[in-house]
Amino acid sequence: MVKPLKLGIIGAGNISKSHLEAARRTGAAVPVAICDPLLDRANQRQNEYGIQEVYADYHDMLAKSDIEAVVVCPPNHLHHVVTIDALRAGKHVLCEKPMSFRADWAQSMVDEAKKSGKILQVGMVSRYQPTVQWLRRQVAEGSLGWVYFARAQYVRRSGIPGWGSWFTRKDMAGGGPLIDIGVHRLDLAWYLMGCPKPVSVFGVTFAALGPSKQGLGTWGTPEWDGYYDVEDFSAALIKFADGSAISLEAVWAGYTDPSSALHLIGNKQGAQLIDDKVKIMTQVDKHDMDTMVSMPKNSLESGFSGQMMAFRNAVRGEAPCPAPGEQGLEVTKMLAGIYESAQKGASVAL
């Protein structure tokens, strides 16, 4: 059996629970320490998961605790500083998405990981679904032919998280749905296509409902004395060096049907990810033919559990890191480019 990680958690908010549950379910890590400037939150997690050490300041935790790895899950604007501090303290890092919202910050994280020789894994949790792993193999083996286009959507009807909190502040979140949920869909489409080199992006963003407090969802805690200065709707076209492209829609709120569609269109076959199924589309004798392939829904290898096991295996040298910082950097460049394009009203070269 691979030895579990002695783990620290930085940021005891909502998503810390998913990581702690994953550690408990898989046994891949033993949470030893947790920190949050809001000590009540850290204490609550301590009680729920029997964590030995609680800190208000992550610097203290990094200096004093015997942990070998950390999960970085504070608000987005802190991901790069906290990750760099943790790597410098000799800890391996699993950093929540988005890795960062600035390419220069993401680059400095990658540089530090290289210097330290520690693992920097990015929290691209969707990669661990059995359907995704299966489809990735199909693409890599050429079953779909050349995948020249992907349509990726993460569209909510009313799903603005924590109005007025860090989620809707540009200085802390870096943006709205594009950076919050678009990052998952973009990463997934790009990963399934084999991570082609991005060359240019064209993006548009809108803030049609959020500023007037419409389209609110249930994630996060609203802060009504806060403010909203991010988009609530974004769309983009990303072009790659091999001529392929991804169209992306990331929407927190809009008067349209919700969608989490992900289509890959190849010159032999097409594929659509539908939760625990993959639909393969082709033609036989000039007739359209669709085949549904089913996968186990919640295996131990999927989602946060799969991510935690993969992190442990990468740290222990049992397997390569499946979502390395270098790939997070490429995704960050695409996201930052889309915002720049939306602001300029013109395409941006990457």
Ligand X SMILES: NC(=O)c1ccc[n+]([C@@H]2O[C@H](COP(=O)([O-])OP(=O)(O)OC[C@H]3O[C@@H](n4cnc5c(N)ncnc54)[C@H](O)[C@@H]3O)[C@@H](O)[C@H]2O)c1
Handedness of CA 119, 73, 168, 166 (dihedral sign): negative
Q: Interaction with ligand X in 40-69: which residues (CB under 6 A)?
A: 41, 58
Regarding 164 and contact with ligand X (CB under 6 A), the answer is no
Q: Of the ranges 46-54, 72-80, 137-145, 148-156, which one interacts with ligand X (CB under 6 A)?
A: 72-80
For ligand X, the binding residue among 69, 78, 155, 334 (CB under 6 A) is 78
For ligand X, the binding residue among 76, 168, 272, 327 (CB under 6 A) is 76
Distance CA 233, CA 213 (A): 14
Distance CA 157, CA 255 (A): 6
Cα–Cα–Cα angle for 184, 187, 193, rounded to 5 degrees = 140
Min dist CB 12 to ligand X, Å, is: 5
For residues 348 and 237, is the Cβ–Cβ distance under 8 A?
no
- Residue with Cβ nearer ligand X (166 or 233): 166
For ligand X, the binding residue among 8, 123, 175, 328 (CB under 6 A) is 123
- Per-residue binding letters, 8-27, with ligand X (x by CB under 6 A): --xxxxxx------------
Regarding 125 and contact with ligand X (CB under 6 A), the answer is yes
- Residue with Cβ nearer ligand X (15 or 147): 15
Regarding 7 and contact with ligand X (CB under 6 A), the answer is no
- Residue with Cβ nearer ligand X (33 or 144): 33
Distance CA 104, CA 101 (A): 9
Min dist CB 55 to ligand X, Å, is: 9
Min dist CB 259 to ligand X, Å, is: 17
Regarding 37 and contact with ligand X (CB under 6 A), the answer is yes
Regarding 97 and contact with ligand X (CB under 6 A), the answer is yes
DSSP annotation of 76: G
Regarding 175 and contact with ligand X (CB under 6 A), the answer is no
Min dist CB 146 to ligand X, Å, is: 31
Regarding 91 and contact with ligand X (CB under 6 A), the answer is no
For ligand X, the binding residue among 38, 63, 241, 292 (CB under 6 A) is 38
Regarding 215 and contact with ligand X (CB under 6 A), the answer is no
For residue 250, the number of C-alpha atoms closer than 13 Å in the C-beta half-sphere is 26
Residue that is written with structure tokens 């829609």 in the block = 249
Regarding 140 and contact with ligand X (CB under 6 A), the answer is no
Question: Which residue, judged by CB position, is nearest to ligand X in the bound state?
Answer: 13
DSSP annotation of 329: H
- SS3 at position 49: helix
Regarding 211 and contact with ligand X (CB under 6 A), the answer is no
Quick one: which of 188, 191, 158 has its CA closest to 261?
A: 188
Which tokens hold the place of 293? 């392939």
Which tokens hold the place of 349? 């070269």
Regarding 272 and contact with ligand X (CB under 6 A), the answer is no
Regarding 171 and contact with ligand X (CB under 6 A), the answer is no
> How many chain residues interact with ligand X (CB under 6 A)?
21
For residues 160 and 215, is the Cβ–Cβ distance under 8 A?
yes
Handedness of CA 128, 261, 246, 145 (dihedral sign): positive
For ligand X, the binding residue among 62, 73, 135, 152 (CB under 6 A) is 73
In our burial notation (b when 16+ CB lie closer than 10 A, e otherwise), range 312-323 reads bbbbeeeeebbb
Distance CA 259, CA 249 (A): 9
Q: Measure the CA dihedral 168/170/175/176, to 10°.
A: 10
DSSP annotation of 220: S
Q: Of the ranges 35-43, 100-108, 131-139, 235-243, which one interacts with ligand X (CB under 6 A)?
A: 35-43
Footprint on this chain of ligand X (rule: CB under 6 A): 10-15, 35-38, 41, 58, 73-76, 78, 96-97, 123, 125
